[in-house]
Amino acid sequence: DAGVIQSPRHEVTEMGQEVTLRCKPISGHNSLFWYRQTMMRGLELLIYFNNNVPIDDSGMPEDRFSAKMPNASFSTLKIQPSEPRDSAVYFCASGTRRPDYEQYFGPGTRLTVT
C-alpha cells in the first residue's frame, strides 16, 4: 500500500491567497484526520471525518479554514484567505475505528505564508 498521500509537500504563498491541501487516505480506512503542527502549539487536531462525514470540527481555528471529504478516497483542507500565522506543517492521517484505531500519518504539507 502507498500509505497516506498528501499534496503538495511544500507550499509557499502570499498572505491573502487561497491554499488547498489534499489528502488521499489508505484504501479501506474509514476515518480521516487533519492535524496542524507548530513549534509553539505542538500537534493540533483540526477536524476528523468518519465515513466521509465530519464528526468534530471544533479544532478548526476560524472560518477561514474549511475541510471536505467528497468521497472515501479524497479530502481537502482549504484556507481562504491565508495569513502568516497559518504557517505550519499540516498532516493528514487515516485509520479505522476498529479494532484499536491506530492512525497512519501522511508525510505532511509544509505551508509557508509570507
Query: Which residues of the shown chain bind other proteins in the complex (CB under 8 A)?
Result: 4, 31, 33, 42-43, 45, 48, 50, 55-56, 91, 93, 95-97, 100-108
For other proteins, the closer of residues 4 and 19 by Cβ is 4
80 contacts 18 by C-beta, under 8 angstroms: yes
Grid coordinates of 102: 491506530
Check whether the bond before 54 is cis (ω within 30° of 0).
no
Smallest gap from residue 96 Cβ to other proteins (A): 7
Nearest distance in Å: CB 105, other proteins: 3
Alpha-carbon separation of residue 13 from 16, 20, 31, 79, 91 (angstroms): 9, 11, 29, 11, 18
Q: How far is the CB of 107 from other proteins (least distance, A)?
A: 5
Nearer to other proteins among residue 18 and residue 56 (C-beta): 56
